[in-house]
Amino acid sequence: MNFVAFERAKQGTGASRRLRNSGKTPGIVYGGSAEPQLIEIDHNALWHALKKEAFHSSVLDMEVAGTTSKVLLRDVQYHPYKQLVLHIDFQRVDAKTKLHMKVPLHYSGAEESDAVKVDKCTVNVIVNELDVTCMPSDLPEFIAVDLSTLKKGVSLHLKDIKLPKGVSAVIRGGQNNNPVLVSVANPVVVVEAPAADAAPAADAKGKGKGKK
């Protein structure tokens, strides 16, 4: 994915406010051997780009003053109630240095599994994105996970899925090294009260009417 940004000379609260009033979003690019660079981006173009999953999880081509560089989206600041991006941060990508990113998990096939089709279980997604590390050239836009083999009472764990070549999951200290990604809940069985419970009361009422 590519986008165009422009060099920004002025900084500070006042300058950023004027920039937003003119339909632009202030930002910064940092990382690598170069100095941090102030940038500005057309707000409408940025707003639409932010709606795309790839803009958040893949290496982007950023063009500034005719030069294109590889960057990652690192932070977005939104207005608390307006549809407005207040500030955006990008990090330069070094082709020879591993990245640490969150990558979306795309699940499919649950409806075809025995757990759903045969046993009428409910499939609950626990984890929607995965912390990974890899070289920039190996970074996937998303990781596809097939759920068609799910069975009743058996959850899907991290070690049950196959990660793309060159991609490793990041497990932080103290965390379970094989977390549950998807759980399978047994169907709820509703037990109805027997209708015969009302019969004794009806009989007693009938006997009472016969006495004078």
- What CATH number has the domain bearing residue 145? 2.170.120.20
What tens digit of pLDDT does each residue of 181-201 get?
A: 999 999 877 777 676 555 555
Do 150 and 116 touch, CB atoms closer than 8 A?
Answer: yes
Give yes or no for residue 89 having a pLDDT over 70: yes
Give pLDDT, residue 182.
97
Per-residue DSSP letters for 97-146? S-EEEEEEEEEE-GGGSHHHHTT--EEEE--SEEEEEE-GGG--S-EEEE
Give dist(CA 130, CA 143) in Å, integer: 9
What tens digit of pLDDT does each residue of 116-150 get?
A: 999 999 999 999 999 999 999 999 999 999 999 99
Domain that includes residue 86, residue range = 2-92
Q: What angle do CA 54, 57, 60 make, to 5 degrees?
A: 70
Give yes or no for residue 19 having a pLDDT over 60: yes
Residue 176 lies in a domain: yes
Residue 199 lies in a domain: no
Give pLDDT, residue 12.
75
Looking at the fold, whether 115 and 83 belong to one and the same domain comes out as no
Which of 59, 92, 125 is a domain's end point?
92
Residue 212 lies in a domain: no
Residue 37 lies in a domain: yes
Give pLDDT, residue 196.
58
Instruction: List, in order, residues 6 or more apart from 121 with CB less than 8 Å away.
Output: 115, 150, 152, 184, 185, 186, 187
Looking at the fold, whether 107 and 172 belong to one and the same domain comes out as yes
Q: In the chain, how many domains are there?
A: 2
Looking at the fold, whether 20 and 79 belong to one and the same domain comes out as yes
Give yes or no for residue 63 having a pLDDT over 80: yes
